[in-house]
A = this chain, B = another copy of it.
């Protein structure tokens, strides 16, 4: 693994001017990994952001086709890292090879999807209203609107997706696609994986002749690097995936700046699942097995993990709960990403157990390798759940809480009491869904994605995906963190009034040289004017 230098990338150059050093951790071996990383210094952070700001004017004016080359080159260079990347990923996350390869594929797929999007070009949402010089009392001017990038973006890598939501993940891919330079704050738990991916991005930028400063990668061991980044006057937006506490703190920090900037933080979620009686009567056992799999997936370290299952007090719910517990605890345990994550899991589930009225349904009781959690299913009745807001806290890991409500009214009250969520799932028999319109309406108000008879884990990357929900699922529910429309987080509209044809961006010219879908005088069309 001689590739790992422990250095930052400030623009295209490796740099290690700081004094703070740190290591990553191998949770399988329960030991530090061999490499030493140098945290970015204040000066390096300032340099990286300054270079990003300097690169912005030329990067933003590159045609989509050129930026698409860059994104595809990143995908190629990530692939070219080959097994070194997969091995490093596994050493830093404890996750299995299949997951590593799957996540790499997803990361490359995202980059290519954004390349396709910006090469085609209609994503800029060109809107044209032509002049009416004879209108009375005043002539109507010619107005043409297009999306333009907002400026350098700070991206915070996530702990639980070392590739797909990190250095070259969805935030970076969408920001670069939009024309925004990116400064990544690498996640301290997988700095080596981050460095390898950063090297791929730098190679791709050089190979496709992007301006230096379009990308930098900063090592960090604590919160200081991220805070400095968010406060830097030349940073114009922030992408973040992580905890409610950290994401909200960054959001508030950004709002206190002299120039406030948007922070898109994708944070916690307990992803409520409503199990209606008909679904449990028809195939309660099957659903219990599906949910044991979903809760256990990735050792429960997913933002879409189903942490809350709501139902009506009944024998069917009780039977479902017992099978869920049995099936979940029958699975081979696996280690978590980091001892700290295990510690949080232990604390979180202990807090649940400590609340009066909660009951342990099942707990894994075999021997546990290092950094490995005991999966748990707990239950509580609706009244207790409503009385104790702490039962809504996310327990990040293989844990779920079943809430037995006494009737539909209490079920709706419970749904209304929830914070915002990434997803909400409805398990229902075919004829059952239209009998509970208030349940569906209440659930819709709380979530970004509604799932019918399925599990919330598994986030498809496609235009119709919404990954982001009302606070605290995310800080701005008007945007998605996954899918091609996530590019909208990093752009703002600019209108050109009576601007000369030959000086307009090609996307807005009468002849429509790129053949874009545009809104022209209220009609969507690919025709020239």
Contact = CB atoms under 8 A, between A and B. Distances in A.
Given A262-B476, A460-B140, A463-B145, A451 B498 contact: yes
B522 A463 contact: yes
A304 to B, nearest CB: 11
Contacts of A476: 262
Nearest to A502: B434
Contact of A143 (B256, B462, B468, B519): B462
Contacts of A453: 498
Contacts of A492: 448, 468, 470, 477-478
A188 B517 CA distance: 45
Contacts of A261: 471
Nearest to A428: B500
- Which applies to chain A's interface (DSSP): helix, strand, loop or mixed? mixed
Contacts of A79: none
Contacts of A480: 493
Interface stretch (A157-165, A247-255, A360-368): A247-255
A144 interface: yes
Contacts of A122: 524
B148 A259 contact: no
A20 interface: no
A449 interface: yes
A259 B472 contact: yes
B148 A444 contact: yes
A503 interface: yes
Interface string A240-275: 000000001001100110011110000000000000
Most buried by B among A252, A491, A495, A500: A495
A286 interface: no
A512 to B, nearest CB: 14
A496 B447 CA distance: 10
A271 to B, nearest CB: 12
A47 to B, nearest CB: 19
Most buried by B among A150, A493, A503: A493
A465 interface: yes
B463 A127 contact: yes
Interface of A: 57, 61, 122, 127-129, 138, 140-141, 143-145, 148, 150-151, 248, 251-252, 255-256, 259-262, 419-420, 430, 433-434, 440-441, 444-445, 447-454, 458, 460, 462-466, 468, 470-472, 475-478, 480, 485, 488-489, 491-500, 502-503, 517, 519, 522, 524
27 contacts: A57-B445, A127-B463, A129-B464, A143-B464, A145-B463, A145-B466, A150-B478, A248-B260, A251-B260, A259-B420, A259-B471, A260-B475, A261-B471, A433-B503, A440-B503, A444-B494, A448-B495, A450-B494, A450-B497, A454-B497, A454-B498, A465-B495, A477-B492, A478-B491, A478-B492, A480-B493, A517-B524
Closest 8 CB pairs of A and B: A255-B255, A143-B464, A466-B495, A477-B492, A129-B464, A449-B495, A145-B464, A451-B497
